[in-house]
Structure 1
């Protein structure tokens, strides 16, 4: 069943390092092969909920590996019986 999970990571790093840390997380998300859309404030993923939550967990670890002393994240989950897709929400705008 498809679920949407949006993730915004806010790493505690000097301002000059924020984008490189966030880019490392986005690169990781891309490497997993899950469907995703990168936005200006968050990345929305589509897939199995358990798999997406593992990605969220790994994203925290990546931030720390990239030098963050702390990571605050905003996670949104859209789950419904029968599944939900990114396309059904924003396809008409593409």
Structure 2
């Protein structure tokens, strides 16, 4: 069943390194092959819940490998019977 998971990572790094670390997380999402949309505050992914939660876990590791002493993440999950897609939510606005 397709779900949407939105992820916002707030790595504990100096401000001048923030975008570089967030960029590494977005690269991880890109390389995973899931459908995703980058927004100004979070990235929304589409796929099977277990796969998306695995990406969330790996995102934490990416932050630590890039020097974060601490990582705060905000995760939103949207699942419904029969699945839910990014397109059905935003097609009216695109």
TM class by smaller structure: over 0.9
Q: Provide runs of 4+ in structure 1 moved above 3 Å.
A: none
CA distance in 2, matches of 1:6, 1:53: 10
1:14 correspondence with 2:6: no
Q: Tell me how far 1:31 sits from its aligned partner.
A: 0.3
CA distance in 2, matches of 1:59, 1:91: 28
Alignment of 1:9-88 (within 5 A): 9-88=9-88
What SS does structure 1 have at the residue aligned with 2:84?
Answer: coil
Q: Deviations over 1:3-30 (max 9, x none)?
A: 0000000000000000000000000100
Q: Supply the RMSD in Å over aligned alpha carbons.
A: 0.4
TM-score by length of 2: 0.99
The number of residues matched between the two structures is 94
What SS does structure 2 have at the residue aligned with 1:41?
Answer: coil
Q: Deviations over 1:51-91 (max 9, x none)?
A: 00000000000000000000000000001110000001101
CA distance in 2, matches of 1:69, 1:91: 39
CA distance in 1, matches of 2:91, 2:73: 26
